[in-house]
Chains A and B, each alone.
Chain A
Amino acid sequence: AQSVAQPEDQVNVAEGNPLTVKCTYSVSGNPYLFWYVQYPNRGLQFLLKYITGDNLVKGSYGFEAEFNKSQTSFHLKKPSALVSDSALYFCAVRDRIRDSNYQLIWGAGTKLIIKP
Chain B
Amino acid sequence: GAVVSQHPSWVICKSGTSVKIECRSLDFQATTMFWYRQFPKQSLMLMATSNEGSKATYEQGVEKDKFLINHASLTLSTLTVTSAHPEDSSFYICSARVGGGVNQPQHFGDGTRLSIL
Contact = CB atoms under 8 A, between A and B. Distances in A.
- Are the chains A and B members of one assembly? yes
Interface of A: 32, 34, 36, 41-46, 49, 51, 90, 94, 97-98, 100-104, 106-109
Contact of A108 (B4, B42, B106): B42
Chain B interface size range: 20 to 34
Contacts of A108: 42-43
Interface of B: 4, 6, 9, 32, 34, 42-44, 46, 49, 51, 57, 91, 93-95, 102-103, 105-111, 113
With most chain A CB atoms within 10 A of its CB, the pick from B57, B95, B105, B113 is B105
Contacts of B110: 41-43
Contacts of B34: 103
A15 B91 CA distance: 30
A46 B105 contact: yes
A108 B34 CA distance: 18
B4 A43 contact: yes
A46 B44 contact: no
Contacts of B95: 43-44
A46 B43 CA distance: 15
Contacts of B49: 97, 101, 103
Given A36-B108, A41-B9, A41-B110, 10 more contacts: A41-B91, A43-B6, A43-B108, A44-B108, A97-B57, A102-B102, A104-B46, A104-B106, A108-B43, A109-B42
Nearest to A97: B49
A83 B30 CA distance: 34
Given A43-B95, A97-B49, A101-B57, A106 B102 contact: no
Nearest to A48: B105
A100 B113 CA distance: 31
A107 B46 CA distance: 13
Given A43-B4, A43-B6, A43-B95, A109 B43 contact: yes
B2 to A, nearest CB: 8
